[in-house]
Structure 1
Amino acid sequence: MSHHGGIARTFVDARQRDAVLRAYPGPMPQSLAEAYQIQAEAIAYAGRTVGGWKLGRIRWPEAGVFGAERLAGPIFSDAISFPESADPVAMQVLTGFAAVEAEILLRLSAPPPPDISVEDARDFVDQVHFGIEVASSPFVGINQNGPAVTVSDFGNNFGLVVGPLIPDAKVPGGLDRPVALAIDGVTIGEGLVADMLDGPFGSLAFLARLMAERGMSLEAGQWISSGAITGVHPVRHGQHVRATFGDEIAIECVTTPALLPEGAR
């Protein structure tokens, strides 16, 4: 087994057992290409259905070093929650690292071509929702060692809460509302979609190119979590999270310990 395969298996096994990794399980990837190779091996080893993809921002100067301003990771179908009421939904997080992010979610109506423009990417989306991405990893340093490390462990994704539909999201100005995120009743992040790097549809255009480069395919019905609007906010077990989009749209969750197989602890 290559060291890439060993890293991939260690991450997947640690996620399943909620083991805490205080050191990276092997040589850290030095490029995004190497990191995506580890990610691909981990997806294959996990054997779970991919129900979508998360995007994250790579800021300068790291964007110049790694040659990209975004990164991507899989969101597994069994980790996507669709709340049926306004009550907070329980979302599992790992012990090593956990955070939450308020995001715009895009549902694909068809796979976009790899050369799609930001404007034309809208035509491949049939629904736009507001939601919360749950970021969590066994590795306590997942967000402190550069974007390649983040990519290698599923882009630091552990779940997605699909919140209310934004009915006018594809018309000019439809996303021009303030976004806020609160933990345990305290607002800790605020932002605007307009401040995102070429917006949610820019995330989709980037992902279309990336997937083609990786020899992978997007699928109709998959969810695209387009990137944090108010920042990445660490959480612990048992915390209440509320994200709001304007004055009318809100989504809530409560973080819970990861459920482990019988006898895993």
Structure 2
Amino acid sequence: MTDFNAIAARLHNAAMSAEAVAQLDVELSTGEAYEVQRLSIERRIAGGDRRIGIKMGLTSKAKIAQVGVDQMSWGRLTDGMLIDDAGTLARSRYIHPRAEPEIAFRLKRPLEGRVTALEAYAAIESVAGAIEIIDSRYKDFKFRFSDSVADNASSAALVIGAWHSASVDFGNLGISLEVDGDPVEIGSSAAIMGHPIRSLVAAARLMAERGDSLEAGDIVLSGSATAARPLVAGTYVRARFEALGQATFMVGE
């Protein structure tokens, strides 16, 4: 019998120590992988973290092409993953971190199960431009779909820019990711499933399949609009969002 707690501990320890581990030697089912993810994040919460929402993964063609996995996934976010806007990320805390620009939603009411786009819109309190830092705990950033899910969909940290009214039309916003002022990735929010609201709809459905739901106050990262870029110590990273401003951070040692 597969020891899910042992796998969760292994992945949690890899994240905490910033030391990569080998790909899992057993291929988990999707349900088993989400159970490992839950157990791993419970270790963070036991250590003092608080749940703040979820991130969606693999919601754009750019990310599907980059990692070679074509199924959407989701991971859990905690307050210990938050980096202040214009703050500093310590590069040494991560294994091989990469940054990607995303649209963030903050909810004012619960959202559960199969919902319509209109219901998803009605649940949004505010919208922001954000940067997710992903950091697979596996060696060489290589994994199967179930490995990634178990590893919290590679989520490691996030930076959120200023919150804006949910009335902002975020369906086709120009987005650029810059390193030291030079654009390295350019895209549109429309790359996220054709419209980011579809990512929020999918989040409610996928969580319900695992017996979970989105709550009032939750933050939902919609998934990246571009490919992710590796982070190098000593650089300044900025994501610019049409109508939503920017999110920035320095990469420290």
Normalising by structure 1, report the TM-score.
Answer: 0.82
1:58: Cα distance to partner?
6.0
1:136: Cα distance to partner?
1.7
CA distance in structure 2 between the aligned counterparts of 1:104 and 1:58, rounded to whole angstroms: 12
SS state at 1:141 partner: helix
**1:7 corresponds to which residue?**
7
Q: Return 5+ residue gaps in structure 1 as ranges.
A: 258-265
What amino acid does structure 2 have at the position aligned with 1:16?
M
C-alpha contact (below 8 Å) 1:130/1:164 kept by paired residues:
yes
CA distance in structure 2 between the aligned counterparts of 1:165 and 1:184, rounded to whole angstroms: 24
**1:181 corresponds to which residue?**
177
Size of the aligned set, in residue pairs, is 244
Does the C-alpha gap of structure 1 residues 129 and 41 become closer, same or farther in structure 2, counting only changes over 3 Å? Answer: same
Does the C-alpha gap of structure 1 residues 114 and 16 become closer, same or farther in structure 2, counting only changes over 3 Å? Answer: same
Equivalent of 2:79 in 55, 77, 80: 77
**1:261 corresponds to which residue?**
none
The reply on whether 1:35 has 2:33 as its aligned counterpart is yes
SS state at 2:252 partner: strand
C-alpha contact (below 8 Å) 2:102/2:223 kept by paired residues:
yes
What amino acid does structure 2 have at the position aligned with 1:158?
A
Normalising by structure 2, report the TM-score.
Answer: 0.85
Q: What does residue range 223-262 of structure 1 map to in structure 2 within 5 Å?
A: 223-246=219-242, 249-257=245-253
CA distance in structure 2 between the aligned counterparts of 1:207 and 1:117, rounded to whole angstroms: 12
CA distance in structure 1 between the aligned counterparts of 2:59 and 2:144, rounded to whole angstroms: 9
After superposition, the C-alpha distances for 1:14-64 in whole angstroms (9 at most, x for unaligned) are 22222232x12x32434322221211121223323211111111678x8xx
**2:116 corresponds to which residue?**
117
Does the C-alpha gap of structure 1 residues 247 and 108 become closer, same or farther in structure 2, counting only changes over 3 Å? Answer: closer
1:153: Cα distance to partner?
0.9
**CA-atom RMSD in angstroms:** 2.6
Q: What does residue range 115-154 of structure 1 map to in structure 2 within 5 Å?
A: 115-142=114-141, 144-154=142-152
**2:202 corresponds to which residue?**
206
C-alpha contact (below 8 Å) 1:59/1:69 kept by paired residues:
no
The reply on whether 1:219 has 2:221 as its aligned counterpart is no
What amino acid does structure 1 have at the position aligned with 2:75?
G
Does the C-alpha gap of structure 1 residues 150 and 239 become closer, same or farther in structure 2, counting only changes over 3 Å? Answer: farther
CA distance in structure 2 between the aligned counterparts of 1:223 and 1:114, rounded to whole angstroms: 17
